[in-house]
């Protein structure tokens, strides 16, 4: 009935081309230099960022020139490694331009970062269509090293998907379409980024909201309070606010971000993708985008979605029916629960059935303790040491920095930018800062989040779902750092098939559901008291409620992602398409004015492949089921998981990583048990609603 929104946007420019990079069109004639690893260390201005990007492009250009100058036989050492060096420099330029586009301190810097991101993406297209580079790589004899063989195979596949074997006229059309796609995708995301809305409400309408929320939203002289569309503002308002008028206004404000500005931008983006796919010989963009993924095709996706739907529809309907009956018990006038009210009624239902108030655990999750706890959990599980680093220059003073070690060996660096501020991207994402290549460069990564806190005097009390999000994002970071020790920069953790990227992150989420793990850091921010076990058990029981309905929403988001890329974009009615999907998967009452799709940035990043979250949830739960529930962190499974799933990165097919860890292909067994867990939990209170 309701859902948790998709939890983050990973800063990958196009998941269809994870291992294809560009001939640097911006490179100058000056001799290449070895640029600094981090763009913000060069001055943090638009001009210094442009110089930094050009240096990386020049470095990439030099490596490509060496590749093309090879006389005699092409080998892994003289050709594939040169290509990988070029790729690494270029991808670093792209990653950090996109990073600063989302978090840059000034509008001028963000504008320049957007411009440079677009320029580098145009260069990506140029190399994708460079036949000389493709022919040099294709001339390499099959490597005996399996990692090199897989990397080379994937690289050549991406070249073919890019249309490198087409004639000159076709390649020119491809380049024009790719440039169009890049421009429109950036514009779509920028509209969402910049469209920070707010509703102004009478303070009396905020009944039910936590005391710290009210304290951070003081009323003006007229008794009015402003609630923005920032995540830390909207989530508590929709979950705890007793006033329906307030909830509906906040919900619609959030669901109208990007509208109507993104309507024609999205239409152009989808049309360009449709034209490109057909130019490359695919009937739809979805067919093209899945050609190099684990899923393989929309036909196979349909089979998978059918199985997940069959597993979740009936239990989801039971959850929805129980919620509606409960809400009618409180208010007989309710005929259907509005989508804007589902979060609120779920909270009330959990209080009644499980004797659990979500606000009761927030004092045990102040931000600073959660940060330490998540880091300690990952350190123990993966047998690494994560050490804070002081006096490091970053893009903003609030960013904290850590180095990751395996024994005495440094593996990489991570940056945490965790609280909202003006001009910063308002979502939750993991970004690769630098690629990692053994002996050449260490991998660095960053979390860009918007959790409570970050203001003097505010402890940043987190909802338990926020802790799960933190674990999820940290799973991405660990995958990147641990997999960044391979020989090839283009074979790190973010270079597995795109529809496997979310498996390691969703696996780490599950460690929240263990009292021994959580109580290493869940202590009351004022008294230091440990989170009581009975409260924890009620929290976990309450959290299990709604999982099936949430999975139905994940299928809805999957359908939006897919359907928008299989219709005729020139004539599509996006509101009608979304409403059709909504009615297929939700029993809630649709609220007029809900333009969810206009701010659904996964339509740019994941394009038609949002199914990744559902597929990887199945895999992640299968992974987690292999851990010893009596010793999740201390047993041998964590290290085996690190070595078989995380460390290989993109040196093996993702399906092989799954088989290496499980000893078989994945199945829906653990997923079904997880989803049905709530139905094994007894009620702890009457559901009379009184």
Domains of the chain: 15-192 (1.20.1050.40), 196-255 (no CATH)
Distances (CA, A) of 148 to 35, 141, 411, 491: 27, 11, 21, 9
Give the residue among 318, 327, 347, 673 at the shortest CA–CA distance from 542.
347
Q: Say how far apart CA 531 and CA 369 lie, in whole Å.
A: 13
Give the helix/strand (H/E) hosting 199: strand 198-202
At 641 the pLDDT is 98
Structure tokens at 323: 């919620």
CB 88 within 8 A of CB 489: yes
At 22 the pLDDT is 35
At 425 the pLDDT is 85
β-strand pairing of 444-448 with 409-417: parallel
Give the helix/strand (H/E) hosting 446: strand 444-448
- The residues with which 228 forms a beta bridge, in sequence order, are 198
Q: Say how far apart CA 151 and CA 161 lie, in whole Å.
A: 15
Q: Say how far apart CA 303 and CA 306 lie, in whole Å.
A: 5
Measured over all CA atoms, what is the biggest interatomic distance in the chain, rounded to whole angstroms?
83
CB 199 within 8 A of CB 227: yes
How confident is the chain (690 residues) per 10-residue block, as mean pLDDT? 32 33 35 72 93 93 94 97 92 94 93 92 76 96 97 95 92 92 93 94 96 94 96 94 98 98 98 97 97 97 97 96 97 96 97 96 97 97 97 95 98 97 88 95 96 92 95 97 97 96 97 93 97 96 95 98 96 98 97 97 95 98 96 94 98 98 97 84 44
Length of the chain equals: 690
The phi-psi region of residue 670 (left if phi > 0; otherwise alpha if psi is between -120 and 50; otherwise beta) is alpha
Structure tokens at 456: 């003097």
Give the residue among 516, 661, 602, 660 at the shortest CA–CA distance from 8.
602
At 30 the pLDDT is 40
Q: Is the pTM of this model over 0.85?
A: yes
At 680 the pLDDT is 61
């Amino acid at each position: 009935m309701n859902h948790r929104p998709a939890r983050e946007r990973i800063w990958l420019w196009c998941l269809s081309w994870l291992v294809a990079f560009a001939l640097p069109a911006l490179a100058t004639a000056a001799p290449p230099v070895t640029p600094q690893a981090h763009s913000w260390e060069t001055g943090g201005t638009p001009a210094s960022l442009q110089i930094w990007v050009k240096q990386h492009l020049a470095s990439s250009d030099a490596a490509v020139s060496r590749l093309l100058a090879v006389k005699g036989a092409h080998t892994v050492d003289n050709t594939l490694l040169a290509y990988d060096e070029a790729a690494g420099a270029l991808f670093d330029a792209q990653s950090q331009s996109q990073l600063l586009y989302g978090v840059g301190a000034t509008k001028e810097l963000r504008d320049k970062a957007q411009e440079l991101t677009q320029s580098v993406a145009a260069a990506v297209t140029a190399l994708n269509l460079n036949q000389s580079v493709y022919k040099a790589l294709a001339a390499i004899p099959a490597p005996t090293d399996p990692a090199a063989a897989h990397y080379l195979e994937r690289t050549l596949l991406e070249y073919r998907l890019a249309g490198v074997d087409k004639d000159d006229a076709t390649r020119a059309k491809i380049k024009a379409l790719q440039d169009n796609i890049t421009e429109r995708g950036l514009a779509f995301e920028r509209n969402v980024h910049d469209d920070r809305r707010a509703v102004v409400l009478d303070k009396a309408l905020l009944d039910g909201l936590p005391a710290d929320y009210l304290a951070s939203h003081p009323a003006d002289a007229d008794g009015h309070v402003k609630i923005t569309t920032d995540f830390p503002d909207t989530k508590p308002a929709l979950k705890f606010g007793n006033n329906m008028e307030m909830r509906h206004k906040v919900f619609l404000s959030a669901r109208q971000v990007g509208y109507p500005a993104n309507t024609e931008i999205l239409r152009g983006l989808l049309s360009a993708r449709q034209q490109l796919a057909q130019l490359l010989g695919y009937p739809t963009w979805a067919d093209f985008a899945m050609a190099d993924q684990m899923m393989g095709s929309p036909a196979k996706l349909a089979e998978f979605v059918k199985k997940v739907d069959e597993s979740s529809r009936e239990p989801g309907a039971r959850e929805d029916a129980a919620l509606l009956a409960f809400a009618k018990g409180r208010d007989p006038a309710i005929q259907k629960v509005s989508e804007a009210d589902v979060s609120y009624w779920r909270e009330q239902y959990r209080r009644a059935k499980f004797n659990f108030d979500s606000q009761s655990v927030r004092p045990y999750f102040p931000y600073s303790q959660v940060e330490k706890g998540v880091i300690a959990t990952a350190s123990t599980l993966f047998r690494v040491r994560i050490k804070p680093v002081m006096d490091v220059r970053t893009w903003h003073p609030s960013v904290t920095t850590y180095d990751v070690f395996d024994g005495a060996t440094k593996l990489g660096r991570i940056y945490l930018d965790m609280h909202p501020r003006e001009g910063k991207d308002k979502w939750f994402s993991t970004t690769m800062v630098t690629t990692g290549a053994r002996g050449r460069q260490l991998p660095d990564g960053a979390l860009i989040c918007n959790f409570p806190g970050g203001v003097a005097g505010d402890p940043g009390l987190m909802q338990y779902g926020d802790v799960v999000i933190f674990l999820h994002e940290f799973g991405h970071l660990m995958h990147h750092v641990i997999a960044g020790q391979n020989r090839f920069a283009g074979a790190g953790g973010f270079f597995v098939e795109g529809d496997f990227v979310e498996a390691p992150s969703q696996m780490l989420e599950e460690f929240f559901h263990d009292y021994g793990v959580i109580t290493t850091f869940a202590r009351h921010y004022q008294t230091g008291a440990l989170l009581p076990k009975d409260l924890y058990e009620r929290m976990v029981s309450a959290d299990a409620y709604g999982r099936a309905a949430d999975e139905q929403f994940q299928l809805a988001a999957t359908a939006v992602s897919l359907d928008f890329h299989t219709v005729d974009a020139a004539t599509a009615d996006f509101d009608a398409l979304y409403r059709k999907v909504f009615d297929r998967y939700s029993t809630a009452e649709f609220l007029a004015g809900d333009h969810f799709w206009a701010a659904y940035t996964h339509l740019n990043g994941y394009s038609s492949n949002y199914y990744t979250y559902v597929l990887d949830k199945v895999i992640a739960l299968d992974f987690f089921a292999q851990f010893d529930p009596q010793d999740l962190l201390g047993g041998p499974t964590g290290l085996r998981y690190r070595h078989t799933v995380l460390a290989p990165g993109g040196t093996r097919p993702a399906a092989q990583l799954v088989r290496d860890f499980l000893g078989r292909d994945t199945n829906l067994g653990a997923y079904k048990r997880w989803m049905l867990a709530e139905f094994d939990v007894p009620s702890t209170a009457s559901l009379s609603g009184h």
